[in-house]
Amino acid sequence: MDKVTILDLKKMKDEGDKISVLTAYDYPTARILDECGVEVILVGDSVGNVVTGRINTLPVTIEEMIYHTQAVSRAVKNALVIIDMPFMSYQTSIEEARKNAGRMIKESGAEAVKLEGGVNMEETIKAITDIDIPVMAHIGLTPQSIHRMGGYQIQGKEDKQKEKLLKDAQAVERAGAFSVVLEVIPKNLAKEITKILGIPTIGIGAGIHCDGQVLVIHDLLGMSGEFRPKFVKKYINLEELISKAVKEYITEVKDIKFPGNKHSFH
Ligand code: KIV
């Protein structure tokens, strides 16, 4: 398989092939996902919650994003690697956004950036794509807006919100985004957006009709503890498997069974 590009994703939408996207934040996970053939690896600012245990994504810094994306990029041969722009790296001014997007691409090894927002980010997305940095947009439930939204609840249920989301979707396409994440919106609204846009829609909690799907890898693997939103499908309970292995190790150390002859030098 060749390196996936943004053109491949557009082609997949046009030909009705679904796009698989997963998050990764470290070298070994990225290597496995890439070898499995996922088309896109997103180094999400969800690293803040999932890997570093914060209560939301707001404290995540540009440096952290670059650090994690460098590790991912070193492992990936085929998938398109996207780096999330963290809170306050693109909201203060268009110049700042452009400079930070440039730095993040230059230093991280990613091929595209992602940022949250619709109509309010139209100019910013245009400015970044104008200097040839591909932008994935993100609308609906946007975790960096947690304090405005007052929680992680479904967006676009009422008519007014629905109209706003349709405008957001059209704005990011007009601005030059190559794709858009639709997070936690009704599936029929996601269907409508997917139909009217020429760029691929990537859903998370947005139903089956999107052009592709994204999940946080720790959720899919069952490593997110009690966190279990409706849209997450736990494909395996890795937490259970890890606990079992670690407990066995502890017991063997205490019972003087590990290391055995096989694991010792003679
Ligand atoms: O930060 C993230 O991982 C994301 C995805 C859930 C879309 O934004």
Q: Dump pLDDT digits (tens) for 115-154.
A: 999 999 999 999 999 999 999 999 999 999 999 999 999 9
Q: Which of 23, 146, 233 to probe ligand 1 with, by most ligand atoms within 8 A of CB?
A: 23
Residues forming a β-bridge with 137: 115, 180
Q: Which atom of ligand 1 is nearest to the CA of 143?
A: 8
Helix (H, G, I), strand (E, B) or coil at 115: strand
Q: Nearest 10 degrees: CA dihedral of 116, 233, 18, 44? A: 30
Active-site annotation holder among 107, 183, 192, 226: 183
Question: Is the CB of 45 within 6 Å of ligand 1?
Answer: yes
CA of 56 to the centre of ligand 1 (A): 12
pLDDT given for residue 259 in this prediction: 98
pLDDT given for residue 227 in this prediction: 83
Rounded Cα distance between 259 and 52, Å, is 32
- 73: closest CA among 37, 118, 43, 49? 43
Question: Is the CB of 84 within 6 Å of ligand 1?
Answer: yes
pLDDT given for residue 254 in this prediction: 98
Rounded Cα distance between 129 and 174, Å, is 11
Task: Give percent above pLDDT 70 in the chain.
Answer: 100
As given in the structure block, the two tokens for residue 111 are 């091929």
What is the tally of helices (H) and strands (E) in the chain? 11, 8
CA of 261 to the centre of ligand 1 (A): 46
pLDDT given for residue 1 in this prediction: 74
pLDDT below 50 — which residues of the chain? Answer: none
**Alpha carbon nearest to ligand 1 atom 3, residue:** 44
pLDDT given for residue 207 in this prediction: 98
pLDDT given for residue 98 in this prediction: 98
pLDDT given for residue 109 in this prediction: 98
As given in the structure block, the two tokens for residue 216 are 């946080």
